[in-house]
Amino acid sequence: MGEVEKLRDIPTINKKIKEGDIVVLTAEEFIELVENEGKVGKVAREVDVITTGTFGVMCSSGAVVNLGHSDPPIKIERAWINDVPVCHPGAAVDLYIGASKMSEIKPFEYGGGHVIEELVKGNEVELRATAYGTDCYPRTQLLTRLTKYDLNQFILLNFRNAYQKYVCAVNSSDETIYTYMGKLYPRIGNATFSGAGALNPLTRDPTYRSIGIGTRIFLGGGVGYVIGEGTQHNPKAGFGTLMVKGDAKKMKPEYIRGAAITGYGTSMFVGLGIPIPIIDMELARSAAKRDEDLITDIVDYGVPRRERPVLGKVSYAELKSGRIVVGEKTVKVSPLSSLPMARKIAMELKKWIEEGEFYLTEPVERLSTDTEYKPMKMVERVVYVGNIVRRAVKCREDESLEEVAERMIKNAVNHIVIVDDEDYLKGIVTSWDVTKAVAEKRRRLKEVIVRNVVTAYPTDTVEEAARRMKKYDISALPVVNMEKKVLGIVTAEDIAKLWGARMR
Amino acid sequence: MRIMVRFKEEMISNPITSEVILEHGVPLNILWAKVESTGGELLLEIPDEKANEIVNSFRLRGVEVLTGRLIDVSEELCVKCGACYSLCPIDAIELRDGDVIFNEDLCIGCGLCVDACPTKAIKLLKVDRTLK
């Protein structure tokens, strides 16, 4: 491999910023220019810095606040801000407001992200706290109202932000699901994706040559710093993440927004942008990569397991077009992070640099390129539906209601699964359905069958099966394979027995 | 244009919509309907040139008629994330070079996007239904 052509270093860039003759483009402008020129060389020699931006829901975010001491002083044990439980991980009056922590009064509507947004806005929030009382901190109860101006420190401290890329989510199951990837229609009725593609900071510098510990960034409309790799940093798979901090007192509410994701919980939109110095040709080439070159997986969120099936690959260019092809279907795909806001951040950061308000920094240490991302070590055995499935008592559609009733009594079951000659699922009949049919003087099985059947796969966890029974208010699920052939049945009674035995 | 007509309980058994169609000799496209024993609602597409007469005919029969937008998107709350876009069954929400554009005139008020909005910027107007 030949020597990489060096173009400029950080001190040269900062000198040019100071002298007012720096050349800055947003990542999108840079890519467009390279495309127009046909090659990267000339453009890279002219452009000193490119700016990036992303504005997405980033759950692993939060803020550290220091309240100062009350009189008499308190060593807070439990605390709530606007009814959102906040964590007190340190000494007496240091708190951490987690973005995804939900209000105890309005869960799923209001959470830590909303509290942080209100504080950034300058609004007053209500703090409640309790403590056990010590000789040095005698107070046990506290109620006060605060704004950011009353706090000693209000620091945004996000332990996982700015995913290099993220997957595209679909749902192959038979019901609409509400996930952290948004609302997903059944039978792959739509798709969602996250990330700003070519505007995403880490996609421009995928081996972290210019972004490292100490990199000064745009964070929430103010200035922040990269303080290390983010949690779940997975560089080998192209899923790098960042840990960042910044003075939230100086942030702007437009770039820090509370979010409420139906069925999932609350979180926070974070606006983040990073300047990429075009230090050499290698970085210039990665910075010129287009959305067409950024590929991610289409993942089936209909399977509620850690290893969700991958259904295909897709580029960010296809994702941003609004429609993608999954198998034989063309479906609309929703971005979940805001491209207009990402653009605005990249433009804003460009302006800061051009106007000499923002200088670049040399990372004091580079981010790891070989961190392994491990799954959780488990000590408890997880029980799957396949472990407790029992033989289903079955019937054909053309049998009589009497035969069904007899079979229920003979086998002492409450559920009869209706199948065709090849064991494909056709419906279900419960003892309640039979009783009701008798009361209403209906005689034909066909009129009684429930055809819209909620099912389980043997690979579902028992917990998931229980959650579905509760959701639909039913007491059994036929267990089927992918082709809807009946393998057996799992009942609420079986699950109750299993859990009862475990507790003993 | 689109109108929402709301029938009271005592009107359910009368063929009001058919009467209006016959009276004016125009097609009415039913975009959405919910009829229960306690009343009903229909979302109708009606020809613009006969809109006034048709609205009056419904009103003369005691039917409540709602016109205008069915949805309101708060500019202040919306962050243009686009979570709503793929949920719209009739393409009333567009993605134009990354920007999210609501065509409020096309919206049929189905409400499918409402619970997907992370900043709760979308509100259904005038329409009273339980959405799932």
Give B119's contacts in chain A (Cβ within 8 Å).
257-260, 269
CB contact (8 A) between residue B83 and residue A336: yes
Give which of A263, A256, A243, A258 is closest to A112, Cα–Cα.
A258
Q: How many Å apart are CA A179 and CA A187, to the nearest integer? A: 15
Within A241-334, where are the H helices?
281-287, 316-321
Which residues lie closer than 8 Å to A168 by C-beta, 6 or more apart? A191, A192, A193, A296, A297, A298, A299, A314, A319, A324, A333
Task: Establish if A371 belongs to a structural domain.
Answer: no
Catalytic residue among A59, A87, A136, A168: A136
In this structure, the answer to whether residues A179 and A292 fall within a common structural domain is yes
In the predicted model, what is the mean pLDDT of chain A?
Answer: 94
pLDDT in tens, B50-105: 888 899 999 998 898 887 778 889 999 999 999 999 999 989 999 998 899 998 87
Q: How far apart are the first and last CA of chain A?
A: 66
Give B98's contacts in chain A (Cβ within 8 Å).
320, 335, 339-340, 343
pLDDT in tens, B6-60: 888 888 788 888 899 999 988 888 888 888 888 888 888 888 888 888 999 999 9
The answer to whether residue B98 neighbours chain A at the CB level (below 8 Å) is yes
Task: Establish if A1 belongs to a structural domain.
Answer: no
In this structure, the answer to whether residues A340 and A427 fall within a common structural domain is no
One-letter amino acid for residue A370 of the chain: D
**Chain A, nearest residue to B88 by Cα:** A332
In this structure, the answer to whether residues A165 and A299 fall within a common structural domain is yes
Question: What DSSP string describes B4-73?
Answer: EEEEEGGGTTS-HHHHHHHHHT---EEEEEEEETTEEEEEEE--GGGHHHHHHHHHHTT-EEEES-SEEE
HSE value, Cβ hemisphere, 13 Å, CA-based, for B70: 27
The answer to whether residue B131 neighbours chain A at the CB level (below 8 Å) is no
Q: How many Å apart are CA A201 and CA A244, to the nearest integer? A: 13
Mean pLDDT of A267-293: 97
In this structure, the answer to whether residues A132 and A259 fall within a common structural domain is no
Mean pLDDT of A110-125: 98
Q: What is the pLDDT of residue B51?
A: 87
Answer for the pair A478, A392: CB distance below 8 angstroms, yes or no: yes
Segment among A47-61, A235-249, B3-17 with least mean pLDDT: B3-17
Tokens for A347?
């433009």
Beta pairing class for A191-193 and A329-335: parallel
Mean pLDDT of A82-89: 95
Answer for the pair A88, A77: CB distance below 8 angstroms, yes or no: yes
SS3 A7: coil
Q: Which of residues 430-489 of A touch B (CB under 8 A)?
A: none
Answer yes or no: is pLDDT of A34 > 80: yes
A136 catalytically annotated: yes
Task: Establish if A465 belongs to a structural domain.
Answer: yes
Domain range for A357 is 10-58+157-366
Give A267's contacts in chain B (Cβ within 8 Å).
118
Domain boundaries, chain B: 2-67, 71-124
The answer to whether residue B81 neighbours chain A at the CB level (below 8 Å) is yes
Answer for the pair A195, A316: CB distance below 8 angstroms, yes or no: yes
Total tally of structural domains belonging to chain A: 3
Answer for the pair A8, A279: CB distance below 8 angstroms, yes or no: yes
Tokens for A92?
């007496």
Q: What is the pLDDT of residue A276?
A: 98
Task: Establish if A167 belongs to a structural domain.
Answer: yes
Mean pLDDT of A333-355: 97
- Angstrom distances, CA of residue A55 to CA of A58, A275, B107: 9, 15, 27
The answer to whether residue A335 neighbours chain B at the CB level (below 8 Å) is yes
Within A309-430, where are the H helices?
316-321, 339-354, 385-388, 401-411
CB contact (8 A) between residue A183 and residue B115: yes
Q: What is the pLDDT of residue B33?
A: 85
The answer to whether residue A393 neighbours chain B at the CB level (below 8 Å) is no
In this structure, the answer to whether residues A319 and A258 fall within a common structural domain is yes
Domain's final residue, options A296, A331, A366 = A366
Answer yes or no: is pLDDT of A376 > 90: no
DSSP-assigned beta bridge partners for residue A480 = A486
Within A376-430, where are the H helices?
385-388, 401-411
HSE value, Cβ hemisphere, 13 Å, CA-based, for B14: 14
Domain's final residue, options A309, A332, A366 = A366
Q: What is the pLDDT of residue A160?
A: 96
Task: Establish if A379 belongs to a structural domain.
Answer: no
What was the ipTM of the complex prediction?
0.83
The answer to whether residue A112 neighbours chain B at the CB level (below 8 Å) is no
DSSP-assigned beta bridge partners for residue B7 = B40
pLDDT in tens, A388-422: 999 999 999 988 888 899 999 999 999 999 999 99
The answer to whether residue B85 neighbours chain A at the CB level (below 8 Å) is yes
Domain's final residue, options A335, A366, A397 = A366
Answer yes or no: is pLDDT of A501 > 80: no
Q: What is the pLDDT of residue A136?
A: 95
Q: How many Å apart are CA A3 and CA A276, to the nearest integer? A: 21
Query: To the nearest whole angstrom, how far is the Cα of A296 from the nearest Cα of chain B?
Result: 18
Which residues lie closer than 8 Å to A236 by C-beta, 6 or more apart? A369, A370, A372
In this structure, the answer to whether residues A413 and A340 fall within a common structural domain is no
In this structure, the answer to whether residues A147 and A175 fall within a common structural domain is no
Tokens for A16?
């040019």
Answer yes or no: is pLDDT of A313 > 60: yes
Give which of A280, A330, A384, A365 is closest to A10, Cα–Cα.
A280
CB contact (8 A) between residue A332 and residue B120: no
Answer for the pair A366, A235: CB distance below 8 angstroms, yes or no: no
In this structure, the answer to whether residues A340 and A418 fall within a common structural domain is no
Q: What is the pLDDT of residue B127?
A: 55
HSE value, Cβ hemisphere, 13 Å, CA-based, for A193: 30
Query: To the nearest whole angstrom, how far is the Cα of B67 from the nearest Cα of chain A?
Result: 29
In this structure, the answer to whether residues A330 and A442 fall within a common structural domain is no
In this structure, the answer to whether residues A164 and A281 fall within a common structural domain is yes
The answer to whether residue A371 neighbours chain B at the CB level (below 8 Å) is no
Output A375 or B121, whichever has higher pLDDT: B121
Provide CATH code, domain B2-67: 3.30.70.260
CB contact (8 A) between residue A335 and residue B120: no
Task: Establish if A377 belongs to a structural domain.
Answer: no
Task: Establish if A25 belongs to a structural domain.
Answer: yes
Answer yes or no: is pLDDT of A504 > 70: no
Segment among A214-228, A313-327, A362-376, A439-453 with least mean pLDDT: A439-453
Q: What is the pLDDT of residue B130?
A: 39
In this structure, the answer to whether residues A248 and A352 fall within a common structural domain is yes
Which is it for the CA torsion A21, A23, A24, A29, positive or negative? positive
One-letter amino acid for residue A109 of the chain: E
Answer for the pair A36, A62: CB distance below 8 angstroms, yes or no: no
In this structure, the answer to whether residues A397 and A324 fall within a common structural domain is no
The number of residues in chain A equals 504
Q: What is the pLDDT of residue A445?
A: 87
CB contact (8 A) between residue B79 and residue A335: no
Give which of A446, A388, A385, A458 is closest to A418, Cα–Cα.
A446
Answer yes or no: is pLDDT of B129 > 70: no
Q: 10 Å Cβ neighbour count for A206?
A: 19
Output A360 or B103, whichever has higher pLDDT: A360
Q: Shortest CB distance from A339 goes to which of B87, B98, B115? A: B98
* Third-level CATH fold of B71-124: Alpha-Beta Plaits (3.30.70)
Range B106-111, long-range pairs (CB < 8 A, 24+ positions): B107/B69, B107/B70, B107/B71, B108/B2, B108/B31, B108/B32, B108/B43, B108/B70, B109/B4, B109/B32, B109/B43, B109/B70, B109/B71, B110/B32
Answer yes or no: is pLDDT of A81 > 70: yes
Q: How many Å apart are CA A201 and CA B92, to the nearest integer? A: 32
Q: What percent of chain A has pLDDT over 90?
A: 84
Q: Do domains B2-67 and B71-124 have the same CATH topology?
A: yes
Task: Establish if A63 belongs to a structural domain.
Answer: no
Q: How many Å apart are CA B12 and CA B104, to the nearest integer? A: 30
